[in-house]
Homo-oligomer: A and B are copies of this chain.
Amino acid sequence: MKIEILTVGKPKASYVKDGLSEYLKRLKVHLPLSMKHVPDRSKRKNAEKVLEEEGKEILSTVGDEDFLVLLDVDGRLVDSVSFAAWVQKKLNETPKKLIFCVGGAYGVSEDVKRRANFLLSLSPMTFPHEMSLLILVEQLYRAVMINKGSAYHH
């Protein structure tokens, strides 16, 4: 099973781009991971319209058999060890792709929430969406290290 990280727009903050490229570099030797971006429409004024358009683009890239994990502050909280076990289990299963979707500045549409197979919360705290992406990638790297029994723990 392949893993895809799906975001709305490419990250802009330089600290996010730096951290991301560091963790993606470390991850790519361990996981069949790719990044995909749908266009960021958040410059438009009407938030509802932004969510609707971005939502359509997100859903058009998700296949029927793909397993869609949506990052959502109100989703399920898990610790890193449980997350690692869960990722391993999913990698061993059959669906075509495991997709982690990080919404845009306004979040995602209700349609995307309904399509999601799992809502994952990184914290009850609200993080900038770009920071959530960085945290997600670090947690995937941590998951790989936990599953390998490595001493990475910093």
Contact = CB atoms under 8 A, between A and B. Distances in A.
A44 to B, nearest CB: 15
Interface string A72-99: 0100011110010000000000000000
Contact of A126 (B13, B16, B127, B153): B153
A63 interface: no
Given A13-B19, A14-B18, A19-B13, A139 B125 contact: yes
Interface stretch (A29-37, A49-57, A109-117, A128-136): A128-136
A122 interface: yes
Interface residues of A, number: 31
A62 interface: no
A125 B79 contact: yes
B80 A125 contact: yes
A39 interface: no
Interface in A3-25: 13-16, 18-19, 22
Nearest to A125: B80
Interface of A: 13-16, 18-19, 22, 73, 77-80, 83, 105, 122-131, 134-135, 138-139, 142, 153-154
